[in-house]
Structure formats: C-alpha cells, structure tokens
Structure 1
Amino acid sequence: MAEVATFATSDQLLVVIDPAARRMDGEAVRIAKDVLSAGAATKVCLPDGPDEFARALARRGSRRPVVVGDDRALVRAVSLLHRQRELAECALSVVPVGTMLGLAGSLGVPTGAVAAARAALDGVERRLDLLVDDSDGVVVGALRIPPVPAMGVPAAVGEAGPESAGRVPWLRSARSLVRTLGAARPSRLSEVVVPPGGPSRLRVEVDGVTLVDLDQPVRELSVTPCAGSAEVEVRPVSVGAEAAPLRAAGRHVTVSGADFRYRADSVVSGPVRRRTWTVWEGALGLRLPG
C-alpha cells in the first residue's frame, strides 16, 4: 500500500483512494488529490484491496477520512467504521469516482470531482440514518427484495467489490450457460448466480405488527431509512388490476419466510430465512456542501 504525505493549511485528512477508482478514472482521481492537497494537510493511501482499505481507515488517527471511489467504496467505509463503533466520532467525506454513483448522489454528495473535494474541505457535517441488521450489516441507502441487480454490477452473493471486476466476463458466461441448460440439475455454479426475481412468500413485520403474511405473495419489497424511521413499501402480487402497495414506517422491520436474498445498497446477501433491520438515527456523519 503506497502512502504519500503532503502538507498544506488547515485540516488533517486521510485520503483513501479505492483501487477501482484508480483504474476507472485516473484523471478524476488526480484532480481530487490536487484539490484536497491544496486545501489541507493530506496523507494519501493507495490500498491494493479490501484488507489494506480496512487497515488504512483503522490507522487514521486524528485524521478525517476522505474516500475516493464509487458507491461500493462508500458502503465499505461506512460498514468498517460501524463495525469499529467509530461512526459517531467520525465525519466521513466522499469524492465519487467510477460508474456506480447513484447512492452518493442520492445522499447529496456532488458527483463531480472538484465539487466533491471542495465539499470535503469546506462542507458541513450532516447526520444521516442507517439500517443495521441483526448480523451487524449496514444499509446506507435502500434494502430491496428480490435483489434486482444494479446496472454494471455482477449479481453475485456477497460484496461486489473491485476485486471482482476480473470475474465479470466469467459470470456472464455462467449465466448464459445456466439459461441454455434450462432445467439442468442444480450445480455449484447455480449457487453463485442470483436467480431472476419472482413472487416471494414473506412475512413482513414493522414494530411487531404484520404488514403482509405468508399467504399473500410479494412481488417487491423496499425498506429505506428516513427521518428516524424505516419506510417500508410492499408490492403484493395481484390478479387482474394492479394491487395497491402496502406502506408502513417504524423502527424495526423483520422479514421472514422461505429462503430469500436481499440487496442492501450494492451488496447481495443471503439466502436467509429471517432478518431484522433497525434504524440507527443519525448514525452516519457525512460531509456535504453547506
């Protein structure tokens, strides 16, 4: 892991540049480094993979972290800081670089390198809600069932981090093979590929109250943290006319039923039979334009 220290004026920053960002858009990375280094004392870390990424954040000392990367790098940083129980004392900054920037943009982070770097230097900290599940997993943006693949991301179970980029052509070939074989018997290959979304029989409970039960097939479920609550929307399967979505809000959301997978931000997890998500109000401090 390469580290470069430069010294400027007013602040102490740890700039962690995700390897996928360096491969995807080196010019945007260079611009972000120049703007940040001109406005603060910076220590730049160039991790080669997730382990070095984690070590860089853990060893930041009093420096304020700035992550240069896409939505996956943002979620990785938030998850690491959460597991270290350091989110409350840490104001995170993000300079979005890459192809997956929808989450960062939805949180209010500028998607241009210069504007985002300036927000990291001169912006204000805003506290945002998170969803945390009963296995200590974190959702920054939204939770969805079934886990419809995000554009440009391999639909593999687990984290689709930059280290998986070389596996994308292999996964495309694998999916093509599975489609060709059709009714072929299950194999290790089919355990890696997320199946197409279809109706699920799930029990969805919000603060202990059942919103939908196993006797009503569900076409889609989404959970989003907002204003201290989890906003839940369930779209049941209908016959004939489109069924109206069911909505509720609460602090705790429990989903149970047959084995199901879910997409939390850019990561597909499961299968599980039961999972509970709880809103952590104001858990994430994110530096945004004033």
Structure 2
Amino acid sequence: MSQAGAPAGALLVLVDPVARRLDGESVRIAKDVLSAGAAAKICLPESPEEFARALARRGHRRPVIVGDDRALVRAVGLLHRERALAAAGALSLVPVGPAPALSLAHALGVPVGAVAAARAVLDGAVRTYDLLVDDSDGVVLGGLRIPSASPGAGRAAGGPEGARRPGAAPAGAERSVWSACRSLVRTLVRPPVGGAVAPAAAGAHRLRVEADGVLLADLDRPVAGVSVARREGLAEVVVRTGDSERPVTALARSVTVSGTDFRYRADHAVSGPVRRRTWTLRPAAWNLTVPRPD
C-alpha cells in the first residue's frame, strides 16, 4: 500500500439509503462537513440502480460513499466493471451503520466516526490497495473464505437439486430417479489408483485448489475450509484439510477452486453455489482516502 496527497476538487456524495434509514443524524453531520469544505453534489439514491446511475454520471467529481462496507464494495465493483477505477481517482468513504457492517472500513484505515471520516475525505491522504477480481467480474476488497459445507446444502430450495420445473414429477419421484442415476454412475466409475476415495467428513468439501497452477488440495481428500487474503502484491491462500493437520499455505497471483458445489463469503456477501471460481490479484488497483499519518 502506498500513500500520496489527497486530490482536490468537487465531490459527488452518494448517500446509501440504508445509512439514511439507520442513522440519519450521522448522515446529516457528514453532509454538513463535506458541503462546508468542498463543492459537493449530494445524491440520495433510493435503489442500487439509482446508485449505479448516479455514480456513472459523476463527471469529474470525486466519489464519496456515505454508508457501510457493502456500499463501498458496490461502488468499487461498479467502477471496476466500467473499467474506470483508475480514472475515478481516489474513492472516499464516510462509514455509517452498525459496527459489524463497518469492519472492512476499519481494516482499510477509515475512521468510523462521521466527523473524522468526513474530514479525512477533505484533507486526508490517498492509500493504494490491491484488489481480488473473480472470473465473473466480482471484486473482493478484504478477503474471502469458503467455509465448511452445511449438510444438505445442495438440496436447498432453489438449489441444483431443490428446484422443480412446472409440470415436473413430484419430489419423491424425482429423488427416486436421481438415486437410481447416481447408483448407476457409481457402478460405472472406477475409483482412482490406490483404492476408493474415503467419504468426506461431515462439513467437508471435495475441492481442488490451485495457486498459480500449483496444486494445494485435490478431490481425493476432504477440505474443511479455504481462505484468501491480500498480502502486499500477492494473495495468501490457506487450505484447511483437517483438525489435526497443519493448513496448507501459499502466496500467489491467481487462485482457482473447483469441485463439488460450494458457497463462498467475499467481504460481507455470500455467493454461490458454484463449481469453479478463479480469483486474480490486481496489484495497486484502486485508491481510498484515509487520515494523514501523524
């Protein structure tokens, strides 16, 4: 992470509707401080779509997000998909929301108080951060993890085996057909050399994890969890394979996870289920204003 002087100029202040609903007083304070110190255009979008349109029409104004971690991730994601993160200059955040929803802001160095954060927007320094980008154009500002599998997750309503088409057979009949198909497949597929694969432990995944093409875990062993975090120009990958075994770790630019359906938590959002996802680290991809060092 590097730091430089904060850019001057007009501001586009985007106030997240959740922040207005939860803490109108902090929002008012932030608007007053920002308007008193710069030419600020205040936008009050009522939906994610209005938020996206206002950000896209920012012109030469510097974006300031008043809201929680999710609002910041939304703004960075929108600018990334526009391929406009560099052109947008330094983003700013005035965190408003409950403490658990501001953990990312705190980790990035943004003050949690409305007055201190607004003053940092006006006279702070610019800090540069790496960014994790996945193959569906999603962004990760902090870190991500693949937690232990929950029993029956693949059969949840709306999931790969839980959804029913109009006019389809009853659920019991569907399960009978699927059971027969799986039994047939098991009789046709031979186990790998060395014997049959042991059944996965409760809460474990069957995942293949690769870091820059190097295999960290494969489908023949259960995986209890995976985490990926930014580490100064590289991604730190940690794979847990069992309670009694030491985690497998690596530093890489690219991480690919594939195998059975899995969900993952990136920043505050849960995504999936997916069967394959690749995350690539983009060094020095975006900028954020933070207080100047003392």
The TM tier, using the shorter chain, reads: 0.7 to 0.9
Asked if structure 1 preserves the Cα contact closer than 8 Å seen for 2:148 and 2:205, the reply is no
| Match of residue 164 from structure 1 | none
Shift in alpha-carbon separation, 1:191–1:139, aligned structure 2, 3 A: farther
Asked if structure 2 preserves the Cα contact closer than 8 Å seen for 1:216 and 1:237, the reply is no
Deviation at 1:213, TM superposition (A): 1.2
Shift in alpha-carbon separation, 1:186–1:112, aligned structure 2, 3 A: closer
| Match of residue 143 from structure 2 | 142
Q: Secondary structure at the match of 1:101?
A: helix
The number of residues matched between the two structures is 240
Deviation at 1:188, TM superposition (A): 4.0
Deviation at 1:11, TM superposition (A): 2.9
Q: Secondary structure at the match of 2:250?
A: strand
Supply the AA of the counterpart residue of 1:217: P
Runs (4+) of structure 1 exceeding 2 A deviation are: 185-192
Once residues 276 and 76 of structure 1 are traced to their aligned partners in structure 2, the CA distance between those partners, rounded to angstroms, is: 20
Shift in alpha-carbon separation, 1:186–1:138, aligned structure 2, 3 A: closer
The alignment's C-alpha RMSD in Å is 2.1
Shift in alpha-carbon separation, 1:38–1:226, aligned structure 2, 3 A: same
Asked if structure 2 preserves the Cα contact closer than 8 Å seen for 1:147 and 1:263, the reply is no
In our comparison, the structure showing a higher alpha carbon Rg is: 2
Once residues 208 and 237 of structure 2 are traced to their aligned partners in structure 1, the CA distance between those partners, rounded to angstroms, is: 13
Supply the AA of the counterpart residue of 2:90: A
Asked if structure 2 preserves the Cα contact closer than 8 Å seen for 1:260 and 1:273, the reply is yes
Deviation at 1:265, TM superposition (A): 1.0
Shift in alpha-carbon separation, 1:129–1:121, aligned structure 2, 3 A: same
Once residues 186 and 46 of structure 1 are traced to their aligned partners in structure 2, the CA distance between those partners, rounded to angstroms, is: 37
Q: Encode CA deviations 1:110-141: one digit per residue, 9 max, x unaligned.
A: 11111111111111111100100111111111
What TM-score, normalized by structure 1, do the two folds share?
0.78
2:34 to 22, 36, 48: 36
Once residues 269 and 65 of structure 1 are traced to their aligned partners in structure 2, the CA distance between those partners, rounded to angstroms, is: 27
Asked if structure 2 preserves the Cα contact closer than 8 Å seen for 1:143 and 1:264, the reply is yes
Supply the AA of the counterpart residue of 2:18: A
Deviation at 1:41, TM superposition (A): 0.5
| Match of residue 18 from structure 2 | 20
What TM-score, normalized by structure 2, do the two folds share?
0.77
Once residues 162 and 265 of structure 2 are traced to their aligned partners in structure 1, the CA distance between those partners, rounded to angstroms, is: 16
Q: Encode CA deviations 1:214-253: one digit per residue, 9 max, x unaligned.
A: 1221111110122110111111124xxx321111011010
**1:92 and 2:91 aligned:** yes
Deviation at 1:43, TM superposition (A): 0.2
Once residues 147 and 101 of structure 1 are traced to their aligned partners in structure 2, the CA distance between those partners, rounded to angstroms, is: 25
Q: Secondary structure at the match of 2:275?
A: strand
**1:264 and 2:269 aligned:** no
Shift in alpha-carbon separation, 1:141–1:191, aligned structure 2, 3 A: farther
Q: Which runs of 5+ in 2 are unaligned?
A: 1-7, 164-201
